[in-house]
Chain A
């Protein structure tokens, strides 16, 4: 912060006008209106069309590709100074904070439901009367395996709770995923060290391995969802346990997908010879993002799976 005194900000790079932002905004609008009409059509029982969403996604992706390519080439031409690079650091840092708050909303919902709603509906305390009156059968246990109104929300057949014997944890999928994701945070750190040592082979190796771990993690998550839907009867519609489980792990999985993709882009950049020990913010931002999804997973593992 205080180093503003050391840097000459007369050479701060203000980019020329560009077409990216307004087209990105347009692409986003095409995407979300497409998604909106698809959702409303399927809800009305019609066969919804994906076309508009895909067009929107294509526009968005194309603009983002051009935009990032432009930023990378400007940096390669030496237009960025230390001050602009610090702006990027602030920007990425606070973007990750906003993501933390997005997950906080879902964790907050989980805690509120577990600590207050379910006990109240089970008849506890002053507020218990409503539950007793509406659904006298309802038992306050977490995970909720028997919903207040099973006719509206089918009960989950089973939960994701961990095995009771410690030895069985070796085959407990969320535990394996924890190991995988935690390891990937270490490998991405090794890749960072490799950049600092200007060792490109090592960088490509560790970064590639990290991407691989990300893909394996996602594969196992998909497998878990298939088991949940097909064998366990645990779906989005199976009450508050299914709702919190799928939205928390689902949004995390979405972020891992994004993170893996971002790391993959960094891998391609590394293969093209980008990054030096002084200039590797693209990689660093991607790795911060990766550490962030890792930390969220630890929270998920503890509060969604184990406890």
Chain B
């Protein structure tokens, strides 16, 4: 490499971001792209939240109040799709973009232009998907799992756009994951060996593998749908020798790893936060890594527990039941380690820690209801009831979402150079914590009593629980506006934060000033034991 180019290159690093809109459209900077991802996911979170509130408003009382059943179906479907693909996943990718290069001591992501492409596909894909709601015949109305034949033979015309939107999101996820893998495996600073990597990096590395393995399978599934709809193939039509149940197998082969894609990075985040505010090293670092790897492996062999009632051989039911229960072992290891990290720590309870502790408690509850659902004979009663809704909302809202919120509070001093307002943060936490439990806890009971999911009306006996649930949902939903206010307030007028914003925080990102410079590590940092988690 010639001296001239070397010098040029350093010029690149010296100037800050460009001004104006083009900065965001054309950027190759991991921090800019991370910011784009995070704001996009927040916008999608609000959109998906509005759809959820439409659902809860309708279910406030028995009978049909506000919307037609057909529209209700579109709300449940799009709420699920937007939250999974538009809010939770991009938020984790945004965090990965912001944090992984700083945490491994790299100048940027490995493939910066592709990084920008991964992001900019998303607004187009979601614009297309959300626009289907305004098309003739309405948007997707077949549930976020889009089972055939609801999504093929009986689907509205807009399903074609939905299929292409899924293709685009899949391409975005695959490129994002390739980028993350290349960054982690190739760009670590000298001395940052694999078993010294921060857990957020580890969990994302494993998540990226899951994404690369299953997003193409999802693409295959929607492609088969596309051909069944438009070219008269019969993959999911028994009259031609296919099988609608096969759709469910293919979908859940994607879908189960997918739900772990939405939780593994959360495990990483929570491990950072709990160790920081307990002011102790993380308990059992290597067992944490192995536990995440085992969970990821097991996620490929448990998919049919989502479809016990659909009809499968007894041997299949037994296999999927036991393999599912096996997941409780590595998950238990993780929960044990988080508690052991807190044990006799000098703990303080700032907002990120509150969200992290709530994560441990409430995610564990969601895990236990998952164990109940894994028991095949019992699942025959629970299947497609509100018990399932309660279960997966417990792992996704106070699970995945709380970890994302915790991460924002934890790292926002690093991102903006400013500290959020602690009282407002705590207010946000308590409103969310109370709201989420009022919303979803009663759903366990209505589900156990037999209330089916995805239905706009219900029997009178479920009225009290549903009213409670709707009140909780509105509390939770509107308390997120507090979050929005906290974010804007922090960016505009937060108090300046130190480089190491938290007393007990370890990691290379805390060795940088706050806000982190536009290009983090132009020269590889020295990795000292003091900054290593393991």
Contact = CB atoms under 8 A, between A and B. Distances in A.
Contacts of A77: 5
Counting chain B residues whose Cβ lies within 8 A of the other chain, the interface size class is: 35 or more
B241 A241 contact: yes
Contacts of A26: 120, 124
Contacts of A4: 186-190, 192
A117 B242 contact: yes
A169 interface: no
A261 B181 CA distance: 28
Contacts of A18: 26, 28, 113, 116
Contact of B121 (A16, A28, A105, A236): A28
Interface of B: 1-2, 5-6, 9, 12-13, 18, 22-23, 25-29, 106-108, 110-114, 116-117, 120-121, 124-125, 127-128, 157, 160-161, 163-164, 167-168, 171, 174, 177-179, 181-183, 185-192, 194, 212-217, 219-221, 223-224, 226-227, 229-235, 237-243, 246, 249-250, 253, 311-314, 519, 522-524
B121 to A, nearest CB: 5
Nearest to B213: A101
A240 B28 contact: no
Contact of B214 (A84, A101, A236): A101
Contacts of A241: 241
B121 A25 contact: yes
Q: By CB atoms of chain B within 10 A, which of A14, A42, A236 has the most?
A: A14
Nearest to B208: A94
A15 B124 CA distance: 24
B25 to A, nearest CB: 5
B110 to A, nearest CB: 4
Interface in A16-59: 16-22, 24-26, 28-29, 32-33, 35-36, 39-40, 42-44
Contact of B160 (A19, A36, A153): A36
A171 to B, nearest CB: 29
Contact of A121 (B23, B191, B238, B314): B238
Given A18-B113, A28-B124, A237 B212 contact: no
Contacts of B117: 20-22, 24-25
A32 B23 CA distance: 27
Given A9-B107, A25-B117, A243-B233, A98 B174 contact: yes
Contact of B186 (A83, A112, A134, A240): A83
Interface string A49-72: 000000000000000000100000
A48 B162 CA distance: 19
A113 B108 contact: no
B232 A147 contact: no
Contacts of A15: 28, 112-113
B110 A87 contact: yes
Nearest to B223: A247
A21 B234 contact: no
Interface residues of A, number: 83
Contact of A36 (B164, B183, B220): B164
A17 B212 CA distance: 26
A10 B523 contact: yes
B12 A14 contact: yes
Interface string A71-105: 00000011101011011101100110111111011
Nearest to B115: A21
Contacts of A42: 230
Interface in A100-129: 100-102, 104-106, 108-109, 112-113, 117-118, 121, 125-127
A30 to B, nearest CB: 9
Given A86-B186, A101-B214, A153-B234, A16 B12 contact: yes
15 contacts: A14-B12, A20-B117, A21-B114, A25-B124, A29-B125, A40-B160, A78-B2, A87-B183, A94-B182, A98-B178, A98-B215, A109-B235, A109-B246, A113-B241, A240-B241
A208 interface: no
Nearest to A149: B239
A244 B220 CA distance: 12
A239 interface: yes
A16 B11 CA distance: 11
Nearest to A144: B241
Contact of B246 (A21, A78, A117, A144): A117
Interface in A215-262: 235-237, 239-244, 246-247
Interface in A114-173: 117-118, 121, 125-127, 134, 144, 147-149, 152-153
B239 A148 contact: yes
A235 to B, nearest CB: 8
A117 B168 CA distance: 31
Contacts of A32: 128, 161, 164, 167-168
Contacts of B250: 105, 108-109
